[in-house]
Structure formats: C-alpha cells, structure tokens
C-alpha cells in the first residue's frame, strides 16, 4: 500500500510530521523524531496512528473529535514502511534503539490490527534494535487485545525489548474520568494486568501522568497496588494543544519551572518509584509533533 503524503513539516534533526490522505479521504498523521543530543544512528523514534481520529476526545489531546473508525493492518504498516524505507530502502535498520510507538492518533487497544502489525514487524524488516511501545488508557472491553498482546510480547519482545505504558494522569478515579472521558480499567485492574504482563528482565511498566493543576496526584494511593519493582512513573507536561486551550487545563509539570517539576518527581521517588521527568524539546510544540495536534491545526486538510 502506498500512502498519499499531502503535507510534511518539521526539522530533520529533531522531528518531522507527515500527513497522509487515505483512500476514503480521511487524513492521518505520523511522526519520526530523535532525542538530541542522541543521534538518529543510535536512537530513532517512529510514532504512528492506529485509528482515524479517536472516539475518546480527552480534553488535552487534539486527536479526538471526529472519529472515522479503525485503521487496517495495511494502513498502519504503510506508515512504518514509509518512514523506514525513506531512510533505509532495503529495510535493514542498524539503529541499536528503534522505538515504534503506536500512540499518535487513537488508542491502540481499540484496534486489534495493531497486534497483527506487531507480529509482522520482525518478519518484514531487519530491526535488531526494535522496541515497540503501546501507550493506552486501558479501555474497558479490550481484554482480548491485552491477553493477545501479552502472548506476542512473550513470543517476540522479551528481555526489555517492549515498552508498556498506561496513561493515568491522576491518582483519583473520579478525576481520571474528567481527564479521560471513557470507561477504562480502574487502577486495581491495571495493576493486576501489569503483574501478569511483567516478566523478569522486562522493562518496568510505565504509569504515565500529564497532570493538571487542581487534579489529585497522590503517590501514596499507588503504593498498595503497584510494586516499584514492576512499575515506574513518567511525568510529562500537558502539551499546548488546541484541545487543552479550549478545556482551560493548566499543566502541573511546567517546563519553565525546573524546581517544582523536580519536587513532584521526588514525591514519587520517596515512595520507591523510579520516576522519569519527561520534558522534550520545546521546539516540538512549534513543529506540531505532540499529541495528534498538527492535523487539527491545518487549513485545507481538515478531517
């Protein structure tokens, strides 16, 4: 399958966003990025869409709103194929850390075609450094997806070669419903699945928080459920998306205030959790490579 690329923006040495028009007229976007000062030859990140938009409409993410259904196995793979072959036409990628994130537009757990792609990747290319990443809100009703994902991880991506992330954003269930307006597993269900998913030698499962001011963020609530031996914390800013602006949410992680960010991280560390304060290059906000925001801003290529 060949993608119809209708727009490209960004900086080659940092991040590039690609917008593709599908056969049905729907526009999707996908991204390649690096993490300076680490060169692309050492670490390369590909971020692909799994849905035509997203039905969840989280108040901090521009990927929600109009929803056009699931992408096919071929449509997901076409994004990866485009990114890989424009730099490595033979499909042999010698990068020691190649991270493919199924996290651009749409929650991957809503589309089992993602699992087909995960099984295809090791057969289609030579990717010695491949580390897939699934980032999800854990929607209720997707138990079959997660069970099959566990089997695929055990078969193809053991020993630290898979990254599993759950987006929580708050430690309070009612606040999570405001930030993630969908039926999801509760914290206990996520913890129980994580305990099943984790194997000795795996990377710790990430609990991802893009916390907002005024919403509960209490590390002590996690301690009875999540073992620091199996789970870690990632703290990120709320990106300056159109949706976040409309919702009036202000991020608790302020990239301009290193001291307060560090203090929040230290609260989790005090409860035994490895904690990553993930603040990327601010230039990416100008590029539009954060959180499904570029398609929403484009004129003339609207969904």
pLDDT surpassing 60 at residue 117? yes
Tens digit of each residue's pLDDT (9 = 90 or more) over 63-81: 877 789 999 999 999 999 9
Would you state the pLDDT for residue 300? 44
Q: Dump pLDDT digits (tens) for 143-171.
A: 999 999 999 999 999 999 999 999 999 99
For the stretch 265-278, pLDDT in tens is: 999 999 999 999 98
Give which of 75, 77, 51 is closest to 64, Cα–Cα.
51
Instruction: Give 63-69's long-range contacts (Cβ < 8 A, gap of 24+).
Output: 63/104, 63/105, 63/106, 63/291, 63/292, 63/296, 64/243, 65/296, 65/303, 66/303, 68/24, 68/26, 68/303
Cross-strand partners of 31: 17, 47
Name the 3-class secondary structure at 11: strand
The structural domains of the chain, ordered by start, are 4-293 (3.20.20.70)
What are residue 10's DSSP bridge partners? 16
Residue-wise pLDDT tens digits, 192-245: 999 999 999 999 999 999 999 999 999 999 999 999 999 999 999 998 888 888
**Average pLDDT of 251-261?**
91
pTM assigned to the model: 0.93
């Amino acid at each position: 399958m060949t993608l119809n690329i209708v727009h490209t923006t960004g900086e080659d040495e940092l991040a590039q966003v690609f917008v593709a028009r599908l056969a049905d007229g729907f526009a999707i976007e996908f991204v390649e990025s690096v993490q300076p000062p680490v060169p692309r030859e050492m670490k390369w990140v590909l971020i692909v869409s799994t849905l035509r938009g997203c039905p969840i409409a989280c108040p901090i993410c521009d990927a929600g709103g109009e929803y056009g259904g699931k992408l096919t196995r071929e449509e997901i793979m076409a994004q990866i194929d485009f990114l890989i072959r424009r730099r490595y036409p033979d499909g042999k990628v010698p990068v020691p850390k190649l991270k493919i994130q199924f996290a651009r537009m749409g929650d991957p757990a809503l589309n089992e075609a993602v699992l087909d792609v995960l099984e295809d990747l090791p057969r289609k290319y030579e990717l010695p450094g491949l580390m897939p990443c699934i980032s999800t809100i854990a929607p209720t009703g997707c138990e079959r997806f997660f069970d099959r994902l566990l089997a695929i991880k055990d078969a193809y991506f053991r020993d630290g070669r898979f990254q599993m992330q759950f987006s929580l954003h708050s430690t309070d269930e009612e606040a999570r419903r405001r930030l993630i307006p969908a039926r999801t597993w509760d914290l206990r269900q996520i913890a129980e699945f994580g305990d099943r998913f984790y194997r000795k030698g795996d990377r710790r499962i990430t609990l991802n928080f893009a916390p907002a001011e005024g919403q509960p963020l209490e590390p002590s609530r996690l301690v009875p459920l999540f073992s620091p031996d199996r789970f870690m914390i990632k703290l990120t800013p709320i990106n300056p998306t159109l949706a976040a602006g409309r919702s009036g949410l202000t991020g608790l992680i302020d990239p301009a205030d290193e001291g307060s960010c560090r203090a929040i991280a230290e609260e989790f560390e005090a409860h035994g959790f490895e904690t990553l304060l993930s603040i990327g290059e601010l230039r990416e906000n100008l590029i539009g490579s954060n959180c499904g925001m570029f398609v929403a801003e484009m004129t003339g290529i609207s969904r």
